[in-house]
Amino acid sequence: MLALHAATAYNLQHCNLHQDGQQPVHILPKILRNKLESRRLEKEKQQDLRKSGNIDISPLRTVCLALGPYRNLTTLSASILFLHPHCQVLNHGGARIFNDPDLDFLLHPDPAITDNFLRYAIQISTKGKRGKTGGSIVHSHAFDEKHKLGRLYRQHFGDQLIKEEIHSLFWKESLRTSLHMRKHDIDPGLLFAREPRLRFLLPIRNPLDCTTSNLRTGHARLFGLGASPDLHQVLDAILDEILWVIKMQDRYPERLFHFTENDFGPNQARKLAAFLKLDTNPAWVSVVEEAFDIDKHYQHPQQLNDYYRRAVDSRFAAWPDLQQQLQNFAK
């Protein structure tokens, strides 16, 4: 019956064509379509919550959340982790989790709520679609035909979307997680004390490329900089996101991990595996080097490079190694 209703709603919204064969006409107002979709998603969520109750999470050793801006190697990092035989990945889905008192263990730090989240996250990581609705990472752009990740994954796991034994769950919902933590003034020390499995990961893409990508994709609006932020404003916001995580890492070095795109390789992969309490699988370490493929095609004006150098120096002087790594991105 549910499938019939879903199909009927879809037909009403998408399949009414002009007689001359032109594009579909939406006969329902947008606000009503959104309500129907929200209702459908809520029904699906309740079904998934019921199904997730039977998932065994006893083998789980860590749960790791991405932090930092979008367009920042998070999808690539998540995809590489999904190539590990004992790591499960949830892509997005924050709208279904944040502010739900039964799932949002960041806002309600309690082991039982964390366990609810873990079971639910594993359940929805086996399905889903592209975009903020989220689900399996295989629906992300990183697994498009033009990239090698899909081929590499199929070579090792075929069509399997859930690992037989999961030792770590990685949730890729980076900036929304950072914003959620700051909005609610969430104390990371309290989180870590209540949940020993919790970790955070910050990949660092070239911030200049990250800036351009955020502007081109529209993700820059999430920084709250107004309707038309300029390159300098977005770059500052990205560097501030990195700085916020690095300061937290100083306080809790065992619970946060970062790397830059230029220093990721087999050695960093081994460190990341140890951080997540995953076995250093030699086949995984080997394939990581092939999978970590970054499309570098942006050119930045010299004025922006100069501005970037000054912005990095003003923020990261207390971390000279990271400061130099970030400066190496400037031309």
Q: Which residue has the higher pLDDT, 211 or 34?
A: 211
Task: Retrieve residue 138's tokens.
Answer: 């295989």
CA-to-CA separations, 121 to 48, 143, 150, 167, 217, in angstroms, rounded:
9, 20, 21, 14, 26
Label residue 156 by pLDDT band (50, 70, 90): confident
Judged against a pLDDT cut of 80, whether residue 23 lies above it is answered with no
Task: Give residue-wise pLDDT tens across range 44-69.
Answer: 999 999 999 999 999 999 999 999 99
Label residue 17 by pLDDT band (50, 70, 90): very low
Task: Give residue-wise pLDDT tens across range 245-282.
Answer: 999 999 999 999 999 998 888 899 999 999 999 999 99
pLDDT at position 27, please? 63
Task: Give residue-wise pLDDT tens across range 184-239.
Answer: 999 999 999 999 999 999 999 999 999 999 999 999 999 999 888 999 999 999 99
Say which amino acid occupies 272: L
Pairing verdict, β 198-204 and 256-260: parallel
Judged against a pLDDT cut of 90, whether residue 9 lies above it is answered with no
pLDDT, averaged across the chain: 89
Query: Which residue in this structure is represented by tokens 């809520």?
Result: 42
Q: SS in 3 state form for 203-254? A: EECCHHHHHHHHHHHCHHHHHCCCCCCCHHHHHHHHHHHHHHHHHHHHHCCC
Judged against a pLDDT cut of 70, whether residue 12 lies above it is answered with no
Label residue 143 by pLDDT band (50, 70, 90): confident
Pair 138, 130: CB distance under 8 Å: no
Q: Which parts of 83-187 fold into alpha helices (H)? A: 94-97, 111-124, 149-157, 174-183
Q: Residue 204 — φ and ψ, nearest 5°?
A: -125, 105
Cα end-to-end span (Å), the chain:
60
Task: Retrieve residue 286's tokens.
Answer: 């080997």
Neighbours of 138 (CB within 10 A): 22
Burial per residue of 5-41, b for 16 or more beta-carbon CB atoms within 10 angstroms, e otherwise: eeeebeeebeeeeeeeeeeeeeeeeeeebeebeeeee
pLDDT at position 291, please? 85
Say which CATH class 56-304 falls into.
alpha beta
Domains of the chain, by residue range, sit at 2-47, 56-304
Q: Which helix (H) or strand (E) holds 256?
A: strand 256-260
Q: Is 133 helix (H, G, I), strand (E, B) or coil?
A: coil
